[in-house]
Amino acid sequence: MLEWAYEGVNASIPRNVGPECAFYLPSKYKIIETLSVSVLIMYLVMKGYRSISVPKNVKYINEDPTGRKILLVAMTLILGIEIGFKFSSRTMVYLLNPCHITTAVQLYLLSAKPSPIVTALFRLQLNFMNGPILAYVFPETESRKIFADKAMYYLQHGLMVVISYYLLGIGGAYTVEPLRDFNWCFLGYGINLAYHFWILQLAALPVQVNLSHMLCPAVLDPFEGQYYRLWAVVHQALLCPLLSKFICFSSNFFLTKFPHPSVINEQSPSNGNKAKTEERLGKCKNGSLHAD
């Protein structure tokens, strides 16, 4: 009944679709592994959720509606073109891949008014930046036959990182926890694992499409074998928080060296806000832009 959503998936690409990939791991092992990872998921989510805190009253510090609108329009166009290509090629199932979900979250963040929910979603999506980074390090564009389709792949994943940096520069609702606080990383990684093992795996099995490599490893996967997914759980547990903290740390550095235009304007003698500006930049240096 849903053949239109996956019948265009390219079967000529190794480990992309088909029974060989779907049954790469024995069914009994997949059940045991999923149950084991589910215990870890519940631990991470409960530990993170119980320890996180979100500012109650938040607002934009650096108002820049033009920049937000430009990024919102650009990413909306890119995602719209992506959906169009998926419809025309009958590969809509690929819209379940994590980067498309994160992109939808970023569109909401760019358009929503300041609120605790916006802050929570912003902090969580920073822990999903492993997706766009890995997309550049290990690009998978073999199934994209049209140049424009391949271009959208790189534009979307690149803009995901740009948006994260840009929102950090706005501040206010788009703030992060202190660098030493890893509770949002626990919660974010738990949600990430839950999406892969509880949603992507269940969606991939019936159609035998290797969504986010949940059915079989990539050809170049150095951890190829029965335990490749467990190895992925381990190395992504290191990569996700490291990338999140690196983005926050580097954003602090660039905001200090190259402050937001509105901050530069405040430094002019005409408005008498130089002390306020220096105080803000001092907080960027010492408090990693957090507002708890």
Which pLDDT does position 213 carry in this prediction? 96
Residues 6 or more apart in contact with residue 209 via CB below 8 angstroms = 6, 9, 16, 17, 93, 94, 215
Share of the chain above pLDDT 90, in %: 73
Q: pLDDT tens-digit profile of 200-253?
A: 999 999 999 999 999 999 988 999 999 999 999 999 999 999 999 999 999 887
Q: pLDDT tens-digit profile of 102-151?
A: 999 999 999 999 999 999 999 999 999 999 999 999 999 988 889 999 99
103 is written with which tokens?
A: 């992109």
pTM, to two decimals = 0.87
Residues 6 or more apart in contact with residue 76 via CB below 8 angstroms = 107
Which pLDDT does position 20 carry in this prediction? 94
Which pLDDT does position 291 carry in this prediction? 42
CA atoms of 149 and 197, how far apart (whole Å): 28
Mean pLDDT of the chain: 87
Q: Do 290 and 175 meet the contact criterion of CB atoms below 8 Å apart?
A: yes
Q: pLDDT tens-digit profile of 278-289?
A: 434 434 443 444
Residue burial 69-94, b: 16+ Cβ < 10 Å; e: rest: eebbebbeebbebbeebbeebebebb
Mean pLDDT on 81-93: 95
Q: pLDDT tens-digit profile of 51-79?
A: 999 887 776 666 677 889 999 999 999 99
